[in-house]
Amino acid sequence: MEQTQQANIARMRGLIYGNWQTCITYAFAELELAEMLHDGSKSLENLAERTDIQPDTLLRFLRCCAQLQFIHIDAGTKDVTLTEFGTCLLRLHPFSQRDAALLNGAFYRYEPWGKITQALKAGSGDGFSETHKHGSLEYLKDKPALLEVFQRAMTNLSITENEQITTHYNFSDFKHVIDIGGGHGTFIRAILIANPEMRGTIFDLGETIETVNLAAEPVADRISLLEGDFFQSIPADGDIYTLKNILHNWPEAKVMEIMKNLHTAIRSSKDPSQKRVLVIEHLMSDNAEAESLAPWMDMNFFILVGGRERSLQEYSDLFTACGFVISRVISTKTGRSIIELAI
């Protein structure tokens, strides 16, 4: 019993003080220490000069980074070396987590979590989160540095999932895919690389489309960029439409606006019964104790933007109300499911 109790206390303390680890990770990324250490060990004095932090203060911080295994500090010389784990916070790491760390630690996303009790009692994050009323992109449109971090973080998140999704779904029956809210186009590129006969369109807001860079892309000649707002209208010339990590950002009324606009687009096109829509999201399980990222994402959306993760039944009810039927559901190893819709 004593060992169990000790283990429980240690685990509980890890949860209680977990925000310290988030803050250290954020600062390590923001200070670009992984970049400074990428080409070899550095002295404490060198890092202090480059970060403009007093050596004694920096050492106190770096000890925490060493506890998180981002770095190794030589006990004698105090030279600092980046670990393999720490390379995940490099900007150019193929699966970089740097922008995710910067995003999650940014004041407008981190601080509202400190008001979680008030938000729960109010039944909404409105008034506690600056992004709640109009969404993250609207809030960030006049904050280019923060917007760039947000977009890169979304891109990096997508990179780790795309191959799984394109492997699990057969796109070969379709000629033109439109990725709704497609961002920088990471997902549509993966689709087109796996399907050389297809062409694709990235459909997103103007401020996002302006930042898309297709230079040197092997599929650039098969990608079109289209500026628009899915709350206003959606183009009608796609054979298959994808909505990846889009609907969970919005409450029910907004989801229905998107889906009704999509239904209108498909109905106005040739052979609407042959069109398909792929909604790619986490699905909330009926088993609350099943290991899943969905409940955590759900609470994040509740606080920050008024969105939510949903169960398959909740999605089915929404889609039915907008004129769609679920034709099949495909699970993937990413934790996200592919919900195929038809009309």
Q: For residue 43, what pLDDT is reported?
A: 97
**Beta-bridge mates of residue 226:** 203
With 80 as the cut, is the pLDDT of residue 176 above it?
yes
pLDDT of res. 282 = 94
Using a 10 angstrom Cβ sphere, with 0-12 exposed, 13-18 middle and 19 or more buried, the burial of residue 216 is exposed
CA distance 241 to 177: 6
To the nearest whole percent, how much of the chain has pLDDT over 70? 100
Neighbours of 258 (CB within 10 A): 20
Query: Band of the pLDDT at 170, cuts 50, 70, 90?
Result: very high
Q: Report pTM.
A: 0.87
Chain centre distance of CA 100: 8
Residue 1 has pLDDT above 80, yes or no: no
Segment 233-291, tens digit of pLDDT: 999 999 999 999 999 999 999 999 999 999 999 999 888 999 999 999 999 998 888 88
**Residue 296 pLDDT > 80:** yes
Block residue for tokens 């000649």: 221
- Mean pLDDT score across all residues of the chain: 94
Task: Please name the residue ranges forming H helices in 210-269.
Answer: 252-267
The pLDDT assigned to 157 comes to 82
Distance separating alpha carbons of residues 329 and 325, to the nearest angstrom: 11
Query: Residue 143 has what pLDDT?
Result: 93
- In which band, very low, low, confident or very high, does the pLDDT at 129 lie, cut at 50, 70 and 90? very high
Q: Which domains does the chain have, with CATH numbers?
A: 2-94 (1.10.10.10), 160-342 (3.40.50.150)
pLDDT at 2: 84
